[in-house]
């Protein structure tokens, strides 16, 4: 996906635009929720239960062992898959990006794999590995790896030549050049790729659990819909939203800490 290629500049500006607290927004949300509550209570449709019902179900379901049974497996699979995606993506990406020959050689292969929608790989994963935890981890890793790998390769490839020349003048060994010049230069691109990878990993876990699983959040939501446990379904979607939001916040705060030097350097007046 090209999402990560945009770099980190837009993200910083968007965060600045979006991070201002305001009253009218809260009012809008409260009014909408109240409207939902009133209309749902009056009309009594099965498909749209009142907000209060969803809220009570949410508390009841997720502050109970259900969280351990459904949410923890999902998060665990995702963490393992994403970890390996990052490790493999970054290390192969650095190698590919550092050597022009290898980049040229592998480019068509990479483009080919990247073009295939990650979720289409899940049936193959089920065939090759079965529907266990392993399959999900592999599939998540596979899906999240491409944006990380390609962004890392681009980041490493596009290191300004002056920096490499300077490193050579100072007599840095190849390994030193790698660790002190290439990796730091590529770091913002790597971060952008990892961010895209994270959202893909999140999608992959939900989809793989919907297609072949006996537990996990994706399984839970689909099962709730099939058994007409409607408040549970809304609650599950809500939990996914909260988790997605928290993961993003966590990622951004880690990124800001690790790449503090980069943000300090590139704050341009917008």
Partner 1 sequence: MQKKTSPINWSGFGFFLICVGFVEIFARLGWLTSYVPPPSQIFVALFQGLISGDISSQIGVTLSVYVRGLALASVLSIIIGILMGTYKPVFDALKIIVEFLRPVPSVAMIPLAILFFGLGATMRISVITYAAFWPLLINTIYGVRAIDPQALDVARNFGITGYEALWRVTLPSALASIATGFRVSATIALVVTITTELIAGNSGIGFYISQMEQANRLPPMYAAIILTGILGYLLNTLYFTLEHKIVFWTPAARERVT
Q: Contact positions toward partner 1, by CB under 8 A?
A: 1-3, 6, 10, 13-14, 17-18, 22, 24-29, 32, 47, 104-109, 111-113, 115-124, 126-128, 199, 202-203, 206-207, 210-211, 217-218, 221-222, 224-225, 230, 233-234, 236-237, 240-242, 244-245, 248, 270
Query: For 85, how many CA atoms within 13 A lie in the half-sphere containing its CB?
Result: 34
Cα distance between residue 27 and residue 227, in whole Å: 35
Token pair listed for 42: 């009056």
Asked whether the beta carbons of 215 and 73 are under 8 A apart, the reply is: yes
Distance of closest approach, residue 19 Cβ to partner 1, in angstroms: 10
Across the chain, how many H-helices and E-strands are there? 14, 0
Q: Which C-beta is closer to partner 1: that of 117 or that of 171?
A: 117
Cα distance between residue 208 and residue 227, in whole Å: 20
Q: Which C-beta is closer to partner 1: that of 188 or that of 235?
A: 235
Q: Which C-beta is closer to partner 1: that of 85 or that of 206?
A: 206
Cα distance between residue 52 and residue 37, in whole Å: 7
Q: Which C-beta is closer to partner 1: that of 177 or that of 223?
A: 223
Distance of closest approach, residue 255 Cβ to partner 1, in angstroms: 16
Q: Which C-beta is closer to partner 1: that of 143 or that of 181?
A: 143
Among 263, 218, 265, 264, which Cα is nearest to 240's? Answer: 218
Distance of closest approach, residue 60 Cβ to partner 1, in angstroms: 19
Q: Which C-beta is closer to partner 1: that of 87 or that of 105?
A: 105
Distance of closest approach, residue 138 Cβ to partner 1, in angstroms: 14
Distance of closest approach, residue 34 Cβ to partner 1, in angstroms: 14
214's torsion region: left (phi>0), alpha (psi -120 to 50) or beta?
alpha
Name every residue whose Cβ is closer than 8 Å to that of residue 186 and which is 6 or more positions away in sequence.
94, 97, 152, 155, 156, 159
Distance of closest approach, residue 68 Cβ to partner 1, in angstroms: 20
């Amino acid at each position: 996906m090209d999402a990560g290629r945009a770099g980190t500049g837009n993200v910083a500006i968007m965060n600045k635009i979006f991070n201002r607290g305001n009253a009218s927004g809260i009012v809008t949300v409260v009014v909408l929720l109240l409207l939902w509550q009133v209309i749902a209570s009056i009309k009594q449709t099965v498909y749209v239960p009142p907000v209060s019902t969803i809220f009570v179900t949410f508390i009841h379901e997720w502050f109970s062992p259900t969280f351990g049974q459904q949410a923890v497996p999902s998060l665990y699979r995702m963490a393992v898959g994403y970890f390996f995606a990052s490790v493999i993506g970054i290390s192969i990406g650095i190698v590919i990006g550092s050597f022009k020959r290898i980049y040229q050689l592998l480019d068509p292969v990479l483009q080919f794999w990247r073009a295939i929608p990650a979720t289409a790989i899940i049936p193959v994963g089920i065939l090759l590995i079965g529907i266990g935890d392993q399959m999900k981890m592999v599939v998540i890793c596979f899906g999240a790896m491409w944006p990380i790998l390609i962004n890392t390769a681009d980041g490493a490839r596009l290191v300004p030549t002056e920096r490499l020349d300077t490193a050579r003048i100072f007599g840095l060994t190849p390994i030193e050049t790698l660790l002190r010049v290439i990796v730091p230069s590529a770091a913002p691109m790597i971060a952008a790729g990892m961010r895209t990878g994270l959202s893909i990993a999140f999608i992959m876990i939900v989809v793989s659990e919907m297609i072949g699983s006996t537990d996990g959040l994706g399984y839970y939501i689909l099962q709730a819909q099939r058994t007409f446990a409607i408040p549970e379904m809304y609650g599950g979607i809500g939990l996914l939203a909260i988790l997605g939001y928290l993961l993003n916040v966590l990622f951004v705060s880690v990124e800001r800490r690790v790449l503090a030097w980069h943000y300090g350097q590139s704050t341009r007046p917008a």
